[in-house]
Chain A
Amino acid sequence: MTSRADLPKISVYGDHAVLVDWETDTFSPDINDTVHGLAAKLWESGKYIEVVPGYDSLVCVFDLALQSSKSTKRHIEDVLAGHDFSKSKMGKLVEIPVHYGGLDGPDMDRICAASGLSMDAVIALHSRDEYRVCMMGFIPGFSFLSPAPKKLHHPRLATPRAKVPAGSIGIANWQTGIYGLESPGGWQIIGRTPLSIFDAKRESPFLLNAGDRVRFIPQ
C-alpha cells in the first residue's frame, strides 16, 4: 500500500467540515476509486450531514455541536488505514445514446478544427472508452466524467452560454460531462442525449450516481 492514493492531505474546511485532498496534477482512476470507497464508508457511519466526493478530493460536513474536526480527522485516518479502497468496486454501467453534432452539438466544429479530426473521428474517439462518473453537481444531475481522450481536450467557452439544454454533453479542458438540467454553462457542447439524467418526478430521480460507469452510444 504505497500508492499515492493512500496519502491524502486531511485539512480543516472551516469549523464544521473536513477536506480530504489527494493533490494530484492529473486524473488518477485509483485515487477516484479511493475517493468513492472512502465516501461510501464515511456515509455508512451515519456521523455526517454530507459526504461529498470529488475527482481527487472529498468533503465531509459534520455538526460541530456533536463532533470536532479533530475527531473527524481521526475517524477518516482510521477508515483509510483499515481499507484499501483503490480497487473499490465501481457502480452500475449505464449506456447513454448520444446524438453528436448538428443542433445538439453546436461546438462540434470547433472541436474538429482544434483536434484536426473529422466529425466521425471525434465521435468514434469520444465514444470509444467507458467513462466513470467521478462527481455530481454543480447542478442536480450534472455528471462529471473521467477524462476524455487527450486529442479532444479543449478550454471552456470564453463567454458561457445563458442556456445549455438538459442532456447536453460537453468538454471543458480534460473533463467531459453531461448537463443534468438546462442551465447556464461554458462547456464545449458536442452532443446531446434524449435520456433524462435528472427527473424529480421519476421514482428514482437520478439516472447516474457517482461511481457509476457510462458508455456513450452514438445514434
Chain B
Amino acid sequence: MTISVLHSGTQTLIMDAGRPGHRHQGIPGGGAADKLSFAIANHLVGNRWDTPALECALGGLHIRFNKDYTIALSGAQMWSQNQGMNLPLNKAVQVEAGDILTMSFTRAGCRAYLAIAGGVKAEPFLGSVSTYLPAKIGGLNGEALKTGDEVEIGEPQGEPQNLPKGHIPLLSNHIVLRAEQGPEWDALSDASKRYLFTTPFYATTATDRMGSRLKGDLVTLDTALKMTSSPLLPGSLQIPPDGQPILALADGHCTGGYARALQVIQADLWLLGQIAPGAAVSFRRSFAQEAEIVLRGKNSYYADLIPGFSF
C-alpha cells in the first residue's frame, strides 16, 4: 500500500543509511543527513535502524496515508499534526487509512524524519535508495518527492518501541560542533586559528545537503595555497580565498581545492544534518583522545537500544 504526497514541502527525500565506499568514483556516501534522528524514528516504529524513511527539510510536507500505519517523527521540531491533532516528536503513533498529516515549518533543527512501519520502497543504486539529486540516483527516479507522488510502503518488521527520555537528542538553532584540525590548518593566520573556535558563524541561505556556506569573521590564510584538488570529506571546513568558510555536508563534493581547516569529529557528524539556513554554527576544539572517548560513550549509550546503530 501507499502514502500520497499532497504537498511535497521544501524538500522531502527518501533516505536510508547511504552508500559509503564510492567516494573514489565521485559518489558521496550521502544517506540521512542526521543519522541519529533517522535511526530513532525507525526504531520507534519497529523498523531496523537503516530502513528507508522520509527526510523532510525545513517543513511543509503534507501526506495522506492510504492504509493504517504506525509512524514516528524525529529530528527537527516542526509543528506537525495528524487530522488536526498535534503529533508528538520521538513517539510511535497509529494513523488510519485516509488520515492527513501536515508538517509546519521548523522551529529548531533543519530536518525531520518520518519513519513508517515497514519502510519506504524505492529503487536502490549501489546498495542504497538514498536520493542523491546531483546524479539523479536513488529515491523515486532520482528526484525529491513531488506533489502527487505515491510512495510504496513495505510490510511491518517489528513491534513499536519507546525511547527513554535521555536518549532524545536536543536540537537548537545554535549548532555546536566539536572539530579537530584539518590537513591545511597550519596555513591559517594566527588570528583565524583563534577565532575559528571562539566566534560563531551563521549558515547562509546557500545551505543544502552538499554544504553550508557560512558567514562570520573572515578566515584568512597566512600564505595563499597552491593546492592540487584533493579528497574532501563531510564535516570538512574549507576556506576559499574570500575568507567565508564552506562546511561540507552529507552530499559534499568528494574532492576540493581549498584549504581544509577543520574536520568535525565522527561523533558529531549527525548534527551536520540539522544546520538550517540562519542557524548559528560554532566550532569547539576537540583533541584526539577526547573524540575517541566521546564516540565510544555515545555508541554504547545507543547500542543496547538501537541494534546495529553506531555513530
With an 8 Å Cβ cutoff, the count of chain A residues facing the other chain is 47
Neighbouring A residues of B29 by C-beta, 8 Å: 49-50
- Annotate B221-234 by CB proximity to A: 1 below 8 A, 0 otherwise: 00000101111010
Neighbouring A residues of B256 by C-beta, 8 Å: 138
Q: Contact at B183–A13, with CB atoms within 8 Å? A: yes
Q: Contact at B265–A181, with CB atoms within 8 Å? A: no
Interface size class of B (residues with CB under 8 A): 35 or more
Q: Contact at A141–B230, with CB atoms within 8 Å? A: no
Q: Min CB distance, B245 to chain A, in Å?
A: 15
Q: Which of B181, B255, B299 contacts A65 (CB 8 A)?
A: B299
Report the bound CA distance from A68 to B266 in whole Å.
12
Q: Contact at B253–A139, with CB atoms within 8 Å? A: yes
Q: Contact at B135–A181, with CB atoms within 8 Å? A: yes
Interface of B is mostly: mixed
Q: Min CB distance, B292 to chain A, in Å?
A: 6
> Does any Cβ of A come within 8 Å of B179's Cβ?
yes
> Does any Cβ of A come within 8 Å of B129's Cβ?
no
Q: Contact at A17–B233, with CB atoms within 8 Å? A: yes
Report the bound CA distance from A136 to B263 in whole Å.
22
Report the bound CA distance from A14 to B179 in whole Å.
7
Report the bound CA distance from A76 to B311 in whole Å.
24
Please count the residue pairs between chain A and chain B whose beta carbons lie under 8 angstroms apart in the complex: 147
Q: Contact at B299–A54, with CB atoms within 8 Å? A: no
Q: Contact at A144–B288, with CB atoms within 8 Å? A: no
Q: Contact at A13–B263, with CB atoms within 8 Å? A: yes
Report the bound CA distance from A201 to B311 in whole Å.
31
> Does any Cβ of A come within 8 Å of B134's Cβ?
yes
Residues of chain B touching chain A, judged by Cβ–Cβ distance below 8 Å, are 20-27, 29, 125-126, 134-137, 142, 179-183, 226, 228-231, 233, 235-236, 253-256, 260, 262-267, 286, 288, 291-292, 295-296, 299, 310-311
Extra pairs beyond A50-B233, A64-B292, A138-B26 (7, CB < 8 Å): A14-B263, A59-B233, A136-B25, A136-B254, A139-B135, A141-B25, A144-B229
Residues of chain A touching chain B, judged by Cβ–Cβ distance below 8 Å, are 11-17, 19, 21, 25, 39, 49-59, 61, 63-65, 68-69, 135-142, 144, 175, 180-181, 183, 198, 200, 205-206, 209-210
